[in-house]
Structure 1
């Protein structure tokens, strides 16, 4: 897969579909590699006429790493964020949003549709008000506005959020963790086969096991805090909010706040969906994305 230099970093990227299609850029969440996107989802987007561009965010996968910074102390950063103290980080969501904007420029594309999932949704929201000249439409999937006072994850989901990723550092540990994660934050209405979960986890581990980048992604989110809340009303791109009713990591109230904060935004809530994109929900998700893209015309 090719790399491209943008905004002071090198990003690994991949494309699906015909270059003549409507360009849509997928922005992954905390520690999510481009190879982790649901293949059924990618194929459906391409069949719907989109030219799909997916990439490794900085500090994950095969893009530029920030090794000199070292692993983030996430419990300490959470404590600082809740106390409204400054959280120090090597980069912010604003930097990651600029990466996405400059990626399409480097690819010779003036404007694109942008879809962000989870923390990628926060990046996409930031991009939409920060670089509106690059955004045809915005899709925010299983993401929050970061407004203070919104519902937080509880129980196992809260514990999972701050726990280190695969502390054993082994292939077997990565597969076991993936199965456990699916049980905690996955979609209860769309169960996945354990064998497939383990196979995907093994592939991602072999491609790039890099937990330090995962922790620094979360650190970037904490460092940015709720700064984007005041800017969401400035977003003019047609916006679609997509969320699972059973999402334990980012409760539905967070998505509802995104929809209420962005003028003209629509929301689609999918029963049985948790904090992932299951095969069974793909038709409804892609239909909503395509409908929102047409609003840009």
Structure 2
């Protein structure tokens, strides 16, 4: 792992595969660890240079004030396009998961010359906030149960890992994987500030950034090979969001994973890697 300077900020990255192979750039959601090691390794073994990275205010990327970000969604999209150039590639296959999937959609729309294919995982075609009438919103029962839990001490590694594991099953996720990932995120957080740890674990910074203007109405402009992956057990962005996204991107293929919730499972690495476009 290292960091590179792109679009005026330092972005934490990790690379897999050979530098001369076609680039697959994976946007963290919000940290790079949203993309399982196993998937990155499978893609690299298939002749791809895989680079996963942390969004701003997460992981090893520039962190200023995750409670008051001074940038918007379009800046994050510019980060992705700038990173392609910094990494020495002409174009990249861009993948985004969760909030990173929103970044990826906007990046491909605003910087079409930088991206040759898309993989959008567990995301939706609108920003955080009130959802469009035709899209299923968060499962209220699950969200109420999750957000009513006492918060952990965000500076206590074991407490944070236990908190993640306890919340995994309602989100359709594997508790052991959630615990391990939370511990790794905690270890990579270069701060003792509880707000920074919380932002890294929950992606809270993304709910505070400016995501205007809307981009859903522009999805028909996308003409690159696109894979939309969604979990049937996802209560945060229910599967109807992925179905709508795939229906509105002319080149999209939808892959629904029955045992997936909000997180990509390690066990799905082979299936997802095989389905991703080769652009």
TM-score normalized by the length of structure 1: 0.82
Query: CA-to-partner distance for each residue in 1:251-286, whole Å, 9 max, x for gaps?
Result: 111011111111121111111111111122222111
| Partner Cα distance (1:200, 1:250) in 2 | 20
Q: Trace 1:192-231 onto structure 2 (pairs within 5 A).
A: 194=176, 197-208=178-189, 210-212=197-199, 214-220=203-209, 223-224=210-211, 227-231=214-218
Aligned to 2:222: 235
Q: Trace 1:89-128 onto structure 2 (pairs within 5 A).
A: 90-128=70-108
Given the superposition, is the C-alpha separation of residues 24 and 164 from structure 1 closer, same or farther in structure 2, using an over 3 Å criterion? farther
Which is worse superposed, 109-118 or 266-275?
266-275
Aligned to 1:152: 137
Aligned to 2:164: 178
Which is worse superposed, 225-234 or 196-205?
196-205
Structure 2 gap ranges (5+): 190-195
Query: 1:246, CA displacement in angstroms?
Result: 1.3
Say whether the 8 Å CA contact 1:6–1:103 is kept in structure 2. Answer: yes
| Partner Cα distance (2:143, 2:262) in 1 | 13
Query: CA-to-partner distance for each residue in 1:195-226, whole Å, 9 max, x for gaps?
Result: x5434322321221522463222222xx3157
| Partner Cα distance (1:165, 1:58) in 2 | 27
Q: Trace 1:50-89 onto structure 2 (pairs within 5 A).
A: 50-67=48-65, 71=67
The number of aligned residues is 265
Q: Does 1:42 align with 2:31?
A: no
| Partner Cα distance (1:165, 1:62) in 2 | 27
Given the superposition, is the C-alpha separation of residues 232 and 163 from structure 1 closer, same or farther in structure 2, using an over 3 Å criterion? farther
| Two-structure CA RMSD over aligned residues (Å) | 2.3
Match of 1:224, SS state, is: coil
Given the superposition, is the C-alpha separation of residues 152 and 104 from structure 1 closer, same or farther in structure 2, using an over 3 Å criterion? same
| Partner Cα distance (1:65, 1:198) in 2 | 24
Query: CA-to-partner distance for each residue in 1:97-122, whole Å, 9 max, x for gaps?
Result: 11011011111111000010111111
TM-score normalized by the length of structure 2: 0.87
Given the superposition, is the C-alpha separation of residues 27 and 163 from structure 1 closer, same or farther in structure 2, using an over 3 Å criterion? farther
Query: 1:56, CA displacement in angstroms?
Result: 1.2
Match of 1:241, SS state, is: strand
Which is worse superposed, 129-138 or 168-177?
168-177
Which one has a larger percent helix, Structure 1 or Structure 2? Answer: 1
